[in-house]
Amino acid sequence: MRSYKVFLFAVLTISIATLSAAPPPTGSDAVVSQLYKDFAWETVPDHAEKPGLIDQPRAVLLRYFDDGLTNLILEDRACAERMHEICRLDFSPIWDSEDPGASGLTVSATKDPNVVRVTFRYPGSNELMELSYHMTKTKDGWRIHDIAYHSHASLLSLLRAKM
């Protein structure tokens, strides 16, 4: 089991290093690249008991998400605390999984500066994941307004859904 953890960490490190070796992003993709760099540790099995992205304080969420999406994430978290169960969000949105993992992660700008594409493969299954980040320009710079997934509703739609 230890060798699997070391292997997975090495794959992730190589993937993030590859991301770092690319030309530095300067547009809306810079926010998404930084998000993955800052939370790559979530994919390491048995990572330290520190709060993941969705459990971060408002100030941290606002580094990546716009006000509206940040508020919805915080509302969902408050619901889960109040109800003592999952409300709307039952997975890590940047990994589209309850069990985050990634290899070969790429963050790509598109012709539309409001859309950033992220692709990676799940270790083990080798399933290709493609996420589309819909960005908005705020007074503080580019922020994530929504994340579109290929297999289910977008993050914004999930968080706005009736309970």
Q: Give the pLDDT confidence of 57-83 residue by residue, as tens digits.
A: 999 999 999 999 999 999 999 999 999
- Entry pTM: 0.83
pLDDT at 24 over 90: no
Structure-token match 């292997």, residue found: 7
Residues 6 or more apart whose Cβ sits within 8 Å of residue 43 = 8, 12, 95, 100, 101, 102
For 71-130, the pLDDT digits (tens) are: 999 999 999 999 999 999 999 999 999 888 999 999 999 999 999 999 999 988 999 999
Q: For residue 87, how far is the Cα from the chain centroid?
A: 19
What mean pLDDT, rounded, does the chain reach? 87
Tokens of 73: 């994430």
